[in-house]
Structure 1
């Protein structure tokens, strides 16, 4: 099956965000290149070039500390670049919950810019940058999640 279409790029992006919420590290590994450029809102040091293994290790030290996270993916605008590149711009509302805290949630609205590469029959993620548009709720969840995941 050849994955040339914009729909295939949207599918890859959707799988990434669902895998983050379900802590499906194997899927995340399969959706990324060996060395990925990563920038996301809760990444304290800002964007970094890191190995796929380091990325997954970092996610494991953060996401499991929440009672739940929910990445609600809105519009995804895809531009195909040449024969094997793509760019997806995605609006995501990310809700983080720790049900023992008051208030129990922290929500951020984020615009992601994701670069993808077509490798044989699938799209993989080369890099992401993000811009936070708003946040509301209890920002202390971020530090508490790191403690709980440790």
Structure 2
């Protein structure tokens, strides 16, 4: 699977660790930055990740900032993106099974690298359940998105 990943300065160190980890799982990864711990703006990294997902250049995206909140807010402004802010393993699985999320957001200042790796592993391997009730709910969310465009 091809994964796009991006972070601001608050998520830079965790992003670097996740890049190596995701490659070790056998996935292809495109790192859109940032490449340092100097202050940058999270929307500048959320957008390129989301654009790669919506264009099909990447199957999924991962975003990291200090809390994950800013990245998830920015990502969910992009049509076609279903981004979940996740800091536990149950939610990582549930957000794929029930919500068919295509972008994952996490906070470096909230969780450590070991838990982040486990969340990513679960999120990447978990398929969407495809259950009719979940499909219907996602369709309703997408209708909200299209009515506001």
TM-score of the superposition, structure 2-length normalised?
Answer: 0.28
Structure number with the higher strand fraction is 1
State the structure with bigger RCO (CA 8 A, min sep 6), 1 or 2: 1
TM-score of the superposition, structure 1-length normalised?
Answer: 0.28
